[in-house]
Structure 1
Amino acid sequence: MNAATWPALLVVDVEGNGTTPPDLVEVAALPIRDGQPDTSTAGAWLIRPPRPVTSRAASIHGLTNGLLAQSPAWGEIAGQVHEFLGEAWICAHNAHVDYRALKAHLPTWEPAGVLDTLRLAKATYKDLPHYSLDALIEHTRPDLTAAPAQRHRATYDTYATAQLLMTMASHYDTWDQLVAAAVPPGLPGAPEPEKDPTLW
């Protein structure tokens, strides 16, 4: 498949503060251009949450309250994030989580569609025992030498997810086939079920 013909697409990842519902502490959005992640135009934001980061969340992504103390509050950057996302397609691993978190913080934002690399992996690699991001990195062995930060940071995870997307996309001939395999039902961009022509 010629990825250069794809519509505008951003691989996204969010990190939260560990509360329910979560407050965002990091958002990253990595454009796919000509079939490759374009780190030179990527967007990344650290956010000071209104509620403290839990110790469990901090132990996963490393974003502590002290580290975020001088970062802007969400209200200060929400407009920038919304403008950056625009109406592009987004892609994420277990995309329901990222889409819902972003939608909760940007109620008027709506992407053109949502690709889920978790769903895509289950369609592409049918017999894997696990489909976590780590398991898929282990299975596909993408080149992550240029990935920023480290695992569980949004910038790293978008880069890894982008590499997984490109690897799996090579198994499909057309964008429509990719969409059919990767967009979860009920999320933007999901193919509409064919209507039964006998019903009227």
Structure 2
Amino acid sequence: MDFRTWPRKLLVVDTEGSGASPPDLVEVAAVPITAGTVRADAIRQTLVRPPHPVTPRAAALNGLTNQVLAHAPVWESIADQVRTDLDGAWIAAHNATVDYRLLARMLPGWEPAGVICTLRLARALHPDLPRHTLDALLTALPVPLTDVAGLRHRAAYDAHATALLLLAIAEPLNTWEDLEALAVPPALRHAPVDEQQGLW
């Protein structure tokens, strides 16, 4: 893989929702990939106090109970900073349409430079695997998780693990354009916007 062809600003993101329909955002994290390196030192994560209670099912999955979130910042206090840092970035996520839709609903008018879905990429390059969930792929593929801090189903852990997964899956491809052809959800294909620097 020629990492010189990758976007200058690529953020692997993960969101955790409240379990409602539609979900409120309760946690968001992003980790940059620069020149083929996951920048674990630059992972950013924040909890978000939702306007409505978290469902028991969601809390059981990620441990983010109403008590845990009681003193987290409300979205309105951090939304501008998150928007600034996401503006101009390509974003990547596992089952990325879910994360994109939640972020787009929380940030009206925001559009990333593009969206990469590691689920689509894994299905294209590893069709022989019986399952393509994040857990299944992290088990089946050589993804080095030793230095991934935190717990599964928390945003920082999942974003970091997905970033490592993206590099592992993309390794046999030649350029970003090859990856893009396989991994951008069809409904999210659009012309890129100017890239900017920054990470909240």
User: What is the TM-score with the length of structure 2 in the denominator?
Assistant: 0.92
Contact kept? 2:150, 2:157, Cα under 8 Å? yes
Percent identity over the alignment is 55
Contact kept? 2:113, 2:191, Cα under 8 Å? no
Contact kept? 1:43, 1:84, Cα under 8 Å? no
Contact kept? 1:183, 1:190, Cα under 8 Å? no
Aligned positions of 1:1-200 closer than 5 A: 1-7=1-7, 8-189=9-190
Deviation at 1:126, TM superposition (A): 1.2
**Per-residue Cα deviation, 1:122-166 (whole angstroms, up to 9, x for no partner):** 011011110000000011131112112110001000111111100
1:57 counterpart SS class: helix
1:173 counterpart SS class: coil
2:145 counterpart SS class: coil
Letter in 2 for 1:2: D
Bigger Cα displacement from structure 2, 157-166 vs 181-190: 181-190
Structure 2 residue runs without a partner (length 5+): 193-200
RMSD of aligned residue pairs (Cα, Å): 1.4
Deviation at 1:83, TM superposition (A): 1.1
Cα pair distance change 1:104/1:18, threshold 3 Å: same
1:186 counterpart SS class: helix
Deviation at 1:186, TM superposition (A): 1.2
Deviation at 1:14, TM superposition (A): 0.2
Q: Which is higher, the Rg of structure 1 or of structure 2?
A: 1
Deviation at 1:34, TM superposition (A): 1.8
Report the Cα distance in structure 2 between the residues aligned to 1:183 and 1:133, rounded to whole angstroms: 17
Letter in 2 for 1:6: W
Report the Cα distance in structure 2 between the residues aligned to 1:147 and 1:52, rounded to whole angstroms: 29
Bigger Cα displacement from structure 2, 111-120 vs 140-149: 140-149
2:196 is matched with none
Cα pair distance change 1:189/1:157, threshold 3 Å: farther
Report the Cα distance in structure 1 between the residues aligned to 2:68 and 2:102, rounded to whole angstroms: 22
Deviation at 1:4, TM superposition (A): 4.1
**Per-residue Cα deviation, 1:94-119 (whole angstroms, up to 9, x for no partner):** 01100000000001211010000000
Contact kept? 2:6, 2:175, Cα under 8 Å? no
2:186 counterpart SS class: coil
- The answer to which structure, 1 or 2, has the higher relative contact order (CA under 8 A, 6+ apart) is 2
Structure 1 residue runs without a partner (length 5+): 192-200
Report the Cα distance in structure 2 between the residues aligned to 1:71 and 1:138, rounded to whole angstroms: 33
Cα pair distance change 1:2/1:168, threshold 3 Å: same
